[in-house]
Chains A and B, each alone.
Chain A
Amino acid sequence: MIDLSAVHIDYQTVLPELVVTGTIVVVLLLDLVVPPDRRRWLAVVSVVGLAIALIASIPLWGQHRSAFADTMAGDSFAAFFNVLLLAVTILTVLISPRYLRCVHLDFGEYYALVLSAAAGMMLLAAATSLMTIFLGIELLSLALYVLCSFSRLQEHSQESGLKYLLLGGFATGFLLYGMALIYGATGSTTLLGIRAFVTSSPGTNVLLLLGIGFLSVGLAFKASAAPFHMWTPDVYEGAPTIVTTFMSVATKAAAFAAVGRIFVATLPSLEAQWYVPLALIAVLSMSIGNVVAITQSNLKRLLAYSGIAHAGFIFLGILPGTTDGLAASLFYIAAYAAMNFGAFAVVTALDAKGEHADELTYWTGLFYRRPFLATTMTIFMLSLAGIPPTVGFFAKLFVFQALVTAHLWIPLIVGILTTVISLYYYLRVIVVMVTVPEGAPVEREGVGLPMTVVVGLSALGTTVMGLVPQVFGWALQATRF
């Protein structure tokens, strides 16, 4: 019998996660009694729960708490990611009911699964132990496996879920094996313990390096970074668009939270050892993502490859191994969340009509049919391409600045060259949208108030986030561990 009385449980640290978990239970129970045509109330309950969790995250800002014997942290870093992840989840839930009704997937479990995934991501962002990292990853992955195959009658969706499950399971194996090796090498599962070991015995420890290598494979898989990105286009394409919207942004953010905690906060002294593999991942992601995206004619696949490329850019900020570099990555993640969520939300809005919206040909002349969606999509594309004054430019600027300060020229050059390449396919989307359509113009129709608000908010965030200096200040403060 283990004596748990000595374990200090700090409820404030885990309050956001607790609230989200509680909401899962409430939603599941409510699902039993809410009549099918009132299921949007589940969305309302979810949003309320998520909003409370968001408010509960804010007091963590500026604190240095830890709970459950140093396995979870309640600090600015966790608060930053909690707010980001919860905001993304709230926006997702807001645009879900209409989409789910349109594609006949209006089931209560959907909300419970999205909330579970969110809880897992928050756990991952706060995790300071190999065990909690694993818990977080599994919680978010299991929920997403189901969500990807949520459209039960669509073969595409089933294929997507299965692919994600099989490959994801494989990656988890790597992750777990790496954790075992690290534990074997250092004798500790908490990041604090590992850090203490690494600083006290500076020699080369093959077991530890192998463990870190395997661990990064698992995390790079979740962040969909090359060369572990193969699943991304297929899964993104097959999954219901709303799920893709959510996971493309939130999963990546959560995975990078763990990457930041492990590499920058725990292992900065081993930077010389992990620099080359991580730089390879970054360079490969940017190159493969941006080059292959050129050939895509399906918008969901195009955005999948673009997401792979952006994972590479986010890795760039990790490379210097400094908290300033990590702050640039954090800003990039927030920027990516705004612009990529917006872009996928536009696809979702068009998909909801049961149209084949993900084929690029469908977007011909969108400006004349859906001026609002086309205009916002233009903003998102410009931002993803990194053109000022959108936030995408500032994100790249801060990351490049970190590389220049650290004199890391080769990743910088690759980053710049691939940015230029990426212009081609992002701008092609805009050109397609302004091309005059053939045949009779289709009637304009609305997309509903929630979608208008959510897309509008994303566009606003994409436009002003870079111009408001405080955001980068927050990213800097979040990395003061």
Chain B
Amino acid sequence: MSWYQLPATVPWLTIAVLLPLAGALLVLLAPSAARSAIKQLGVLTTVFTLVLVGLLLGGFQQGTAGLQFDEHHSWITNLGISYHLGVDGLSLFLLGLNALLFLLALAVTDPKMPRFKEFVLLMLVLEAATTGVLVALDLILFYVFWEATLVPLYLLIGAWGEGRRIYAAFKFLIYTVLASFFMLVAILALAALNANQTGTLTFDWSTLVQHPVTGSVDVLGIRVGIQVLLFLGFAVAFAVKMPLFPVHTWLPAAYTASPVPTLLIFAGLISKLGAYGFLRFNLSLFPDGTRSAGPYLAGLAVTGILYGALMALVQSDLKRLVAYASMSHLGFIGLGIFTQNLLGVEGALIQMINHGVIIAALFLTVAMIERRAGTRDRTQLRGLEQRAPLFAALFLVVSLAALGLPGLNGFVGEFLIMLGAWSRFLPLAVGAGLGVILAAWYVLRMYQGAFQEAPSQPTAFAEARWTEAGVLAPLLALMVVLGVSPAFFPAAVQATVQAVVSR
């Protein structure tokens, strides 16, 4: 069922990819001095994209597993590369998150920043690329979009970041590109193997999914299934992007150096692209490989939960604290994915949206604190609650969602993931449970330290402004809505998830 029917002849997804690019083109033509016009242009573009994606959300046929809004055209026919876009339960809500976060990111971008025009331009190009990642269903096309996200991100951190920005940007880039090449090799090998099997060379996901590769090869004298090898090739790329422990070391540097609008995208969305990749490609294309290698990755995910939580406990810089908290929460998503059962994967999908909403809100509020107090050092902040009660209340809701309080959205995803993990990896579920307890510890300590107790020195700390509350409002609303009626998600995605886990 769907709320309404959208005409099938319109290439909706191509429009969704091209819309930000068109906005970027207009920004390019605008004079650099027209800062407010550029800002309006940027925000309007993202609003239009959000509206378009909203239309798609409503027009999506719920309860069906297949691809929708399908667009399939031949491209480089000699090599079996096609232009194939489509949406299913895996990517539907991430598209919405994508559009929402870009709108918020551009809304909080300060027009007085240096080289504002170029900043907006790159953000819009980045939006086109991330949208493309979510809708591309040809492996080469996906790879093109996947890599195309890197250059804007690299420049956004390198040119507009803070602190050791060039170092952070380079580290991020080298990690991700190196990892992506593993995926490229796996993509080429997968297509070649499939061509041996079926006789036609194709990179089309929907065809490859129907013919899982079989067989095994000798690697250094050990018999390894081909599916496991290919699984690992894809997994390296997605694990770095997500990031999973132990390939996360670029994360603290990159998150800390990012300018706030970029950080919203980086933490809120880019990490989900890694998780999405796992679901779309690893679980779907290599179900046997996932069954063999998945438990190890689930172990790494739980290690990441605990490691991130412990690291978050010892940070005094709020931005770094949230960065590690983000990593800890991403571990839950990883754990859910590799349970390979309905509950776990659904939980992971929900948690992906939740994480995007919560982390974006946390980084936004931290940035607001920094702008007011001039510092984001937890030990130097005290008693902000008395000065800015409304702001404190907003921050408290976000914090409670982050620690997984029932009634707010964080709880739903984590609970489902734990249920899923309980039936497949009992010890890991226990470890993840420990992570939840640690999360309560560092989140509450952060709130207590910064907001409660008596103010140490009489510094001014302004109350939340309407614009700030306005930016936070959609995120807070989502936290409550998703927390109170979580059933909305499973209904829409269940069929797709069922198809993925039953392969």
Contacts and interface: CB of A to CB of B under 8 A. Distances in A.
Given A389-B144, A427-B173, A401 B79 contact: yes
Contacts, number: 63
A83 B145 CA distance: 32
A416 B145 CA distance: 19
B192 A405 contact: yes
Nearest to B166: A431
A420 B144 contact: no
A419 to B, nearest CB: 7
Nearest to B147: A388
Given A382-B151, A472-B76, A412 B185 contact: yes
Interface in B64-121: 74-79, 81, 114
Interface string A386-399: 01110001000110
The range of chain B's interface size is: 20 to 34
B78 A393 contact: no
Interface string B155-195: 10011000000100010011001100100110011001000
Contacts of A400: 184-185, 188
Nearest to A475: B78
Given A397-B184, A404-B185, A434-B159, A387 B78 contact: no
Contacts of B166: 431
Given A397-B140, A400-B188, A434-B155, A387 B150 contact: yes
A319 to B, nearest CB: 15
Given A393-B144, A397-B184, A469-B75, A434 B151 contact: no
B154 interface: yes
A420 B177 contact: yes
A325 to B, nearest CB: 13
A388 B173 contact: no
Interface string B266-287: 0000000000000000000000
Interface in B121-147: 140, 143-145, 147
A52 interface: no
A15 interface: no
B148 interface: yes
Contacts of A401: 79, 188
A430 B192 contact: no
A389 B148 CA distance: 7
A170 interface: no
A321 to B, nearest CB: 17
Given A404-B192, A412-B185, A388 B76 contact: no
Contacts of B150: 387
Most buried by B among A382, A423, A476: A423
Most buried by A among B75, B79, B170, B178: B79
Nearest to B143: A388
Contacts of B170: 424, 427
B158 to A, nearest CB: 6
Given A404-B189, A469-B78, 14 more contacts: A388-B145, A393-B147, A412-B185, A420-B181, A423-B173, A424-B174, A427-B170, A430-B155, A431-B166, A434-B159, A469-B75, A469-B77, A469-B81, A473-B77
Interface of A: 382, 387-389, 393, 397-398, 400-401, 404-405, 412, 416, 419-420, 423-424, 427, 430-431, 434, 436, 469, 472-473, 476
21 contacts: A382-B151, A387-B148, A387-B150, A388-B144, A393-B144, A398-B79, A400-B185, A401-B79, A401-B188, A404-B188, A405-B192, A416-B185, A419-B181, A423-B174, A424-B170, A424-B174, A427-B154, A430-B155, A469-B77, A472-B79, A473-B77
9 nearest A-B residue pairs (beta carbon)? A388-B144, A404-B188, A469-B76, A416-B181, A388-B147, A420-B178, A434-B159, A389-B144, A404-B192
